Amino acid sequence: MIRLAKNEIARILSEASGAPQDVCLASLEPTEEKGHGDLASKIGFILAKERKTSPGALAHELSKKIKPHEWIEKIEANGPYLNFFFSDAFYSAAIERILEDGPNYGKGRRGKRVIIEFPSVNPNKPWHVGHLRNALMGDSVANLLEFAGDKVQRIDYIDDLGLQVAQSLWGFDNLGKKPEGKFDHWLGGEYVEVSERMERDPETVKFAEGLLHEMEEGDNEVARKARWLAEECVKAQYQTAFEFGIYHDALICESDVLREIFAEGMGWLRSSGAVELEKEGKNTGCWLVCLGEKMKGMEDPDKILIRSNGTATYTGKDVIFQLWKFGKLHGNFFYSKFIAQPNGETAYITSAKGNGMDFGKAEIVVNVIGVEQKYPQEVIKHVLDCLGLKDESDNSVHLAYEHAWLPEAKFSGRKGTWLGYTTDELVEEGKKRAEEKVKLEFSEKDKKEIASKVAIGAIRYAFLKIAPEKKLIFKWDEVLSMEGDSGPYLQYACVRAKRIMEKAEFLPQAGMHEFNPAERELILELASFPEMVDAAAEKMKPHLVSSYLYNLSNLFSKFYTTNRVLDAETKEIAQTRLAMVRGFESVLSKGLGILGVPIPDKM
C-alpha cells in the first residue's frame, strides 16, 4: 500500500508541478519527525533552480495546486519540503489490502534463478556456532529471496577430498575405535586425536598424504571408503540442520567436481587469457591470475589457480565451480538420493551413477563464506570479468559474515576447542533453559514441544538480528528473554494475536472510522511490509527483517494496550480493530517464517 500511495502522490504531484512522474516518485521519502506527515517530497529542491525560485517558495506554491485525493488528508509546505498526511480512507484501504492478499501479501515476483551455497562444513566434525551462523544466514537469505519471488537452489559443497578427510580416514582405520553416539561428534573427536598424533609423528602425516593421493585418483577402495566416511558425517551434520529447519536441494562433492567438470574448467582457464603461465621465479610452471591493479598495496597480489604439477588450488577449484553454477561449462553431474528431509523433500548428492537433474544455470550466485575469504571471492569475480563474463561477475555475491562466539569459547577443529560447544549442545542447553520457563499448567508433552520451538526460535533470531558484518556474542540471558529484542518476545506477540482472533467473531473486512495515533502507527508499519521485504531481499540482509518485526511488535503492544478490541465501543470499531490484529498476526507470521523462527501453538 505504501508503494501504491507513493505512485498516487507522484501522479498528482506531477500534474501540479509539470515534472515527470518518475522524478516526483524519486522525490518521496518517509518523514523522520512526528507531526510532519507520513511522506515528504523534496521536489522543491529538484525544480527550484530550473524555475528560478527558492525551494521553499516552490513547495508553498505546489501545496496550493495539488488536487485532492481520497488517501491524502492534508498537504503542508514545511520549508522546502511538501509533507503529505494519509487519511482514514488510506488506513482502511491498507488493512483491506492485507486481508484481501492473505498469504500472498508482500510476496514479490522477481523470478531470478539463484544458487545459494552454504554452509560447506568440512565432513569430519560437528557444527559449532560459527558454522551455525553460516547455515542460518544461508537459509534465511534463501527464504527471503524465495518470498521475493526468486527460484532458489540451496547447494552444499562437500570437500570430501580434503586432507582432513584423509587424516580422519587414517584414524578410522588405525586407532582401533568403533563409532559411538552421533557420528559427526565421534569423528570430530577422533580427528583431534589424529591431529595430536601427527604433530608428534611425521610418518603418520606421510601415510595420510598417501591416502589423499589415492582419494584424488578415484575409483579405488580408499576413495570409496573416504567418500562413505564423509557422507556419514554429513548425514549426522544434517540432523543438526533439521533441528533448525534447514534443508538443501543438492550436495556437490569435490570428488565429482574433479571427475566431471575439472578438466574442462582448467582448459578454459588456460586458453582464455584470463590466467598466465609463470615462466620464471618461485611460481615457475604455475598458472596464475594477475591482480596487480585490483589489489594495489598487497605484497603478492597475483593468485595461483593451477599449480606447476597441474592440480588446482582452492581458489582455482572455486572458480571452476562458479563457472558451473552459472551454467558456463558443458559438463554436468549425475545425482542420487542422499537423505529424506523432514520437510518432505529429498536432498540429492552428486555421484558417479545417477540421473541428470536441473541444478546450476543460475543468474545470481551467492556464496556464504566468512569475511576472511574476501580476497579469494574477489579473485573469482575478477577471473569471470577477464573471461568476458561481466554479468556473471556482477552477480557473484560474497555474503560475508563475521565470527560468532560464545563468551567462554573459541573454535578450532584440529585442536578440539569446539568440544563442549557444538551446535547440538547449544540446542540442548536452549531446550533445557526454555523448559524451565514454561508455565506449570501445561502437560509434559506440551512443555517439551513449546520449549523446543522457543529454543530454536530464540537461537535463530539471536543470530539473525545481528548485521552479518558485526561480530556476534551469544548470551543466554538476552537470547531467551521474554522482553526486548528477542525471539521469544516475537513468538509471544504472535501467539497472543492468534488467541485474540480465536476468541473473536470476525468478519474479514475493515470498516473506516477516525483512526487514533496508535492505530495509524500500526497500520502504517503493516503497510510498509512489502517495501521492507523488497529492500531486505535486494541487499540480502535478514537483520532488516528482524528490526522491522521488533518495531512492528512494539507498535502492536502499544495499540493493544491503549485500545479496546473485543469489547470496543461499537461492533464496527471492534471489527476494524480485529482486522488490524489479523493483519498483524499475518505479517508477523510471514516475517518469522522468513527468519525460520517457529511459532508455538501456545506459550
Domains and CATH numbers, the chain: 2-86 (3.30.1360.70), 426-595 (1.10.730.10)
For 262, the 3-state DSSP assignment is helix
**Residue 420 pLDDT greater than 70, yes or no:** no
Q: Average pLDDT, stretch 17-35?
A: 89
pLDDT tens readout for residues 32-71 = 777 788 999 999 889 988 888 898 999 999 999 999 899 9
Q: Alpha helix (H) ranges present in 1-105?
A: 2-17, 21-26, 43-51, 55-65, 88-101
Four-CA torsion 460, 462, 466, 471, nearest 10 degrees:
-110
Rounded to 5 degrees, φ, ψ at 154 are: -95, 110
**Residue 524 pLDDT greater than 70, yes or no:** yes
C-alpha cell recorded at residue 426: 547449544
Shortest CA distance to 393 belongs to which of 402, 401, 385? 385
Long-range residue pairs from 565-573, CB within 8 A, at least 24 positions apart, any chain:
565/500, 565/504, 566/500, 566/503, 566/504, 572/511, 572/513, 573/511, 573/513
pLDDT tens readout for residues 269-299 = 888 777 888 888 888 888 887 766 655 555 5
370 pLDDT band, cuts 50/70/90, is very high
**Residue 405 pLDDT greater than 80, yes or no:** no
E-strand ranges in 278-433 read 287-289, 303-306, 334-340, 346-351, 364-370, 396-401, 404-405
Q: Residue 486's pLDDT is what?
A: 96
**Residue 16 pLDDT greater than 90, yes or no:** yes
Helices (H) and strands (E) in the chain, counts: 23, 16
Q: Residue 217's pLDDT is what?
A: 87
What letter does residue 215 receive in the DSSP assignment? Answer: H
Global pTM reads: 0.91
**Dist. CA 347–CA 417, nearest whole Å:** 31
Q: Residue 599's pLDDT is what?
A: 97
The residue among 382 and 349 whose pLDDT is bigger is 349
Q: Residue 423's pLDDT is what?
A: 94
**Dist. CA 182–CA 366, nearest whole Å:** 31
Q: Residue 294's pLDDT is what?
A: 56
